[in-house]
Structures are given as C-alpha cells and as structure tokens.
Chains A and B, each alone.
Chain A
Amino acid sequence: ETGVTQTPRHLVMGMTNKKSLKCEQHLGHNAMYWYKQSAKKPLELMFVYNFKEQTENNSVPSRFSPECPNSSHLFLHLHTLQPEDSALYLCASSQEGVPAQFFGPGTRLTVL
C-alpha cells in the first residue's frame, strides 16, 4: 500500500450503531487530519494530530471521537450519529514543517 488509505470506503449505519473509520498513512509523516465534506458545503477540518497528540479540535460534537495510537494510524469512532452527519470523511497526512497535505480516498458515510 502506498500513500494514504482509508477503510471502509462506504459505510451505512443506523443512529444507534457504533462504528469506526480507519486511516493509515505509508508516507512516514507525523501529522494526521480528519476532514468532513458534506453535500453542498466546503471541506471542514475536524481534528489535527501531531506526533500522536491532538492539537486541533474544530468544535466537533462528542459523538465523533478520534484516536491516534501512532503516527501512521488514525481512527474516527462514531456513536449515536444523526442523519445530518452523512458526509464524505477524508483523512490526510503531512510532515512537520512541510505545508503539503496528502489525502486519502475518503469514507462515504450514510446515517439512516
């Protein structure tokens, strides 16, 4: 695998389910990001992790819970989501001091 991978690519869940999104980067980067892209809206930053530490939480509701066990893996744990949380969730990574970010293919989430 190369670059940034995300699993699953598609996810349908009910409002009472608990699920997790996974992101893995194979680029040796030390920063990872979660973004949300809702229909008809610009991409929004959700969380930033640097060296496994969360450095940015962009006022994200607590039903989204990120986890970064190491610099290569990033998870987004989901519970009691709402239909308006349906969106494309994109992961990205970068190297400290280098402004370029590399994006994964995204997970398209549908909440019923």
Chain B
Amino acid sequence: KNEVEQSPQNLTAQEGEFITINCSYSVGISALHWLQQHPGGGIVSLFMLSSGKKKHGRLIATINIQEKHSSLHITASHPRDSAVYICAVLQGAQKLVFGQGTRLTINP
C-alpha cells in the first residue's frame, strides 16, 4: 500500500461540473502539495498547505490533519483543466512522497 493514496485514479466529467479529487496519507507530514501535470510532463505547483483551506480562482484545496486527508476541488470545470493532478506530502524539510495521480478529462 502506498503511503499516499489518491482517488479516483481516472475521472471524466462534462464542462461545468464540480470536481473533487481525494488524497489520503499514512505518514507524518510537514505540508501537503497539490501539483498539476500536463501532457509533455511539466509539473506546476497549485497549492501547498499544512492546515485548513486555500482557494485560488476556481481551485480549492482543503486538508484535515487529524484525518490525514486532503481534497482538491475544481468549480465550473473547463476542458483546459484536463491534466493529471498529483498529491504529494512533504516529510521533513525536503522529502516529497507522491500519490499515483488522478487523470482528469473534462469534455466540452
């Protein structure tokens, strides 16, 4: 069992739908990252959080430290949101442990 588990692994939705991607982890962490990876490989950091909730545009990330769970939400989804979304937990100062990613496809 991976230390970081994401669900679902694949998600297909229609444009405009509300999207939720979940991440559970089983290790102690100092922070949690949500990353976006587009075809071709480049990775962009969306959020880094250690408690509570953060919002950026149509993206919202929450974390529950006691439950060891985080969610990434996308409101009013758009085809350009299609990508792989990766949850990664930070152990200590520098070591990132990654989930397997969620492949999101938004159809017009």
Contact = CB atoms under 8 A, between A and B. Distances in A.
A74 interface: no
A56 B95 contact: yes
A88 B100 contact: no
Contacts of A97: 93
B28 to A, nearest CB: 14
Q: Which of A55, A105, A108 has the most CB of B within 10 A?
A: A105
A96 B7 CA distance: 32
A102 interface: yes
User: SS class of chain A's interface: helix, strand, loop or mixed?
Assistant: strand
Given A41-B100, A48-B94, A100 B42 contact: no
Contact of A42 (B42, B93, B95, B100): B100
A42 B41 contact: no
Contacts of A43: 86, 88, 96, 98
A90 B43 contact: yes
Interface string B81-98: 000001010100111111
Nearest to A94: B94
B64 to A, nearest CB: 19
Interface string A82-112: 0000001010001001011111111010000
Nearest to A43: B98
B12 interface: no
24 contacts: A37-B41, A40-B100, A41-B100, A42-B4, A42-B99, A43-B96, A45-B95, A45-B97, A48-B95, A55-B94, A56-B95, A88-B41, A97-B93, A99-B90, A99-B93, A100-B45, A101-B33, A101-B96, A103-B45, A104-B42, A105-B41, A105-B42, A106-B40, A106-B42
Given A45-B97, A103-B44, 16 more contacts: A42-B100, A42-B101, A44-B98, A45-B95, A48-B94, A90-B43, A94-B94, A97-B93, A99-B94, A100-B33, A100-B45, A101-B33, A101-B96, A103-B42, A105-B42, A106-B42
Interface of B: 2, 4, 30-31, 33, 35, 40-45, 48, 86, 88, 90, 93-101
